[in-house]
Structure 1
Amino acid sequence: MMGVNERLDKVISDPIFTSQLTLMECSSNGLIYPMVGVVLERFSLGILPKIHHKIRRLNLESLSMKRILLAGEYPNLCELGLFNIQSEIFQRLFAEKLSLNISVHRSTFIDGNGLNDIISHMPNLKNFICSIHSNVYIDDLIHLPSNQSIQRTLRNLEKYEIVSYTDYFPNDKIGQCHIFSHSYATNSLRRLTNSFPGGLFKFVHEISLYDEHPFEHEFFVCIAQAFPFLKILTIDNKSSQSKRHCQSSNEDNRNLSIVEYHHLIQLRLFTAHDDYIEQFLLDTKTRLSNDIFLGANYDGLRR
């Protein structure tokens, strides 16, 4: 038995083994059975409590899933495969509340039609929140869908308060569609653009901004209002602020609404034009309540 234990300890320490586990039995004719008996006991009591934090993908048979899932917290689990699960159990587990956070590159945008295909199989769904980024290569598209056309596909989802915006970036040859819920409660949002429609997102603490068109002062007013508890902000924009040259005097700056960030502690401007350093460091434009970590190019700070 000691030899078996030593070999098992070596397997447990193997990161390839522990990152992806299939805990079920598969017959030669393709049938799947749950893990049972001594093997299930050994995994649930002796092995999983030691490696649960390493597991990223887990495949289970439905009859043994409760025992296995209760054996650890699985903080890094990003993919769960459930086999032989009955439709009634699936609807009971997932049908009342569904949260989707998706970022994908594909040949067409994900729109309301794609979401309807998912939701139509969940008749008891009460709470649906999402943040879905889909990117396409512009060269691959004959027709470039407008934001209006994407929004029309969302009409059947109005009760979930879902909005969208669409952008095309000629320099990168990329199109981006972002569909998201006004009630989005996850910690972060990424690649927000000038097309961001605003709203109120109290649970979002980290965002990144990206565009090929400049972010003007009014845009940052909108961002501060939409994310009142923002802590970490990353800006990726190489375009100079076009209105900055019309606001060069102190008198003009005093006419601006001062943008206030009460909780910001990190500002990352490594891939931002120097104008955005000025946008945040001039007290006539922005007021920061905390000492912050600033990441920026040294030459931009010397300007």
Structure 2
Amino acid sequence: MKYSCVELNDLPDEILLIIFKKLNNLEVLYSFQGFNERFNKIIHDSIFTSRLSFPRLSFKKCIKKFSSDIILNRFCSQILPTIRTKIKWLDLESESMRNILDAADYPNLYALGLYNIEEETAKCLFTDERLSTSIFKNQITTLIISIDPDKDELYTMKNICNHIFTVFINLTHLTFYDAAYENNVRLLFDVPFPTFSSSSLLVLKVKVQTFDVCLYILDGRFEQLHTLDIELANLFPPLEEIENQRKLPNLKYFVLCCMLQTSSYDELILPLIYRMSNLEELGLSFTTFVDDAFIDGNNLKQNILNQMSQLKQFIFDIRSFMCINNEMKLPSKEDIQQTFTDLQYTKIISCVDYFRDYRQGLCHIYSYPFLMRRFEDITNNFPGGLYPYVRVVSLYDEHPFEHEFFIRISQSFPYRFHVWKN
């Protein structure tokens, strides 16, 4: 039998394209740039050049994809100047962002991701005369800011936000949060709240510390905003009076997630939603204390769905805790599930647990497929299922968790996740 030796250069363009698509595009560019004219034509396709992501997202933070300065220097001196007109999106980490932005002019760049950024780094970058008067001012419409989660000091982001809305005057999409799923670095602001605003911003995704910031964001400073995805650390009534009556007719998509337990569902969450008369998509994720009845399908229909005539999609993950005594008539899982029989939006899963030692009841209702990144207060009655987006889970029960339970957990959460027990 004769053996033939086929080299990479012998393969047709179609096969090479299939192979290269399975590789990281930065590695493809670094390995084959300048190999020959044919390879240059293939790897300069928009598949490999339109978005370049230099950081790599780990579970805790974004890290440098290439540790060698030699690799970065070659990108800056040889590769980026060659493909500069094809680049539309750059994801950069703090150490190398300045070198990459200075390596070439990028006439078609419209999106920028800045990861692990520090406050001083951001200020220097946003006040750079060349960048701020050209790329930042005229081209960038999509911006991602990710805070360095390793810093211990509290972040006062007022100045950064002021620079963002002063420099990026055509900004339509802003994502502002830390890179780590479980990290609690959030936007903090001095009092009084800063006066930044934008007449062009359409989409805002942000992690903040308090409900006050949410109210300030919706006080009219972003008049064209149609999408707000906000994660709160806590949900308490504001310490001072904040504009909270303005209707929000342009807001069509709203997601509110609160990390800590609250008792302000009726007082804060519902009045905020009622300001959004034209809302088409709504997402809610929170844990609340209730006095005498769990939040169930009847509650959601009466307080939310019947109030929102334009709503087309409703996803939620709601846990309600209630103190119990021996005289109470306690609803079962079947009773709670029955309240969702005529809900048209999606499949609903209900879980009900009673902890006699704690004198406490827990009702967990959520839409499925489950789209949230966190799954809180899993008990031994966890029904299973597949939760591909979840990265953080917590356990809560007065009874011990057995081996079979963790097997079920590992099957339901197939991707790497962080778990803790309350």
Conserved in 2, the CA contact under 8 Å of 1:112 and 1:150?
yes
User: Residue 44 of structure 1 corresponds to which residue in structure 2?
Assistant: 196
| Identical positions, percent | 31
Conserved in 2, the CA contact under 8 Å of 1:182 and 1:201?
no
Please state if 1:194 is matched with 2:380. yes
Show CA shifts across 1:250-291 (max 9, x none): xxxxxxxxxxxxxxxxxxxxxxxxxxxxxxxxxxxxxxxxxx
**How far does residue 139 in structure 1 lie from its aligned partner after superposition?**
2.0
> CA–CA distance in 1 between the matches of 2:298 and 2:232?
31
Conserved in 1, the CA contact under 8 Å of 2:322 and 2:362?
yes
User: Residue 84 of structure 1 corresponds to which residue in structure 2?
Assistant: 246
Structure 1 spans left out of the alignment, 5+ residues = 1-11, 23-41, 46-51, 237-303
Change (3 A) 1:192 1:81: farther
**How far does residue 234 in structure 1 lie from its aligned partner after superposition?**
1.5
User: Residue 214 of structure 1 corresponds to which residue in structure 2?
Assistant: 400
Task: Trace 1:137-152 onto structure 2 (pairs within 5 A).
Answer: 137-139=323-325, 142-152=328-338
**How far does residue 188 in structure 1 lie from its aligned partner after superposition?**
1.0
> Which of residues 355, 359, 367 in structure 2 aligns to 1:173?
359
Please state if 1:64 is matched with 2:220. yes
Structure number with the higher strand fraction is: 1
Task: Trace 1:107-256 onto structure 2 (pairs within 5 A).
Answer: 107=291, 108-117=293-302, 118-139=304-325, 142-157=328-343, 159-236=345-422
> CA–CA distance in 2 between the matches of 1:198 and 1:162?
13
* Runs of 4+ that moved beyond 3 A: 17-22, 52-56, 58-64, 67-70, 73-82, 88-94
**How far does residue 203 in structure 1 lie from its aligned partner after superposition?**
0.7
User: Residue 292 of structure 1 corresponds to which residue in structure 2?
Assistant: none
TM-score, normalised to structure 1, is 0.54
Structure 2 spans left out of the alignment, 5+ residues = 1-157, 160-187, 198-205, 236-241, 255-275
Change (3 A) 1:83 1:184: same
Conserved in 1, the CA contact under 8 Å of 2:284 and 2:318?
yes
Structure number with the higher helix fraction is: 1
Instruction: Please give the secondary structure, in 2, of the residue aligned with 1:176.
Output: strand
Conserved in 2, the CA contact under 8 Å of 1:190 and 1:209?
yes
Show CA shifts across 1:150-191 (max 9, x none): 110111225411111100001111100001122222221111
User: Residue 241 of structure 1 corresponds to which residue in structure 2?
Assistant: none
2:325 is aligned with what amino acid?
A: D
Show CA shifts across 1:38-86 (max 9, x none): xxxx9227xxxxxx9977314459783316989xx99868779643316
TM-score, normalised to structure 2, is 0.40
Instruction: Please give the secondary structure, in 1, of the residue aligned with 2:390.
Output: coil
**What is the root-mean-square deviation in Å for CA atoms of aligned residues?**
3.7
> CA–CA distance in 1 between the matches of 2:356 and 2:365?
21
> CA–CA distance in 2 between the matches of 1:19 and 1:218?
49
The alignment of Structure 1 onto Structure 2 pairs a total of residues equal to 194
Conserved in 2, the CA contact under 8 Å of 1:112 and 1:154?
yes
Change (3 A) 1:216 1:120: same
Instruction: Please give the secondary structure, in 2, of the residue aligned with 1:207.
Output: strand
Conserved in 1, the CA contact under 8 Å of 2:349 and 2:368?
yes
Conserved in 1, the CA contact under 8 Å of 2:219 and 2:243?
no
> CA–CA distance in 2 between the matches of 1:203 and 1:212?
27
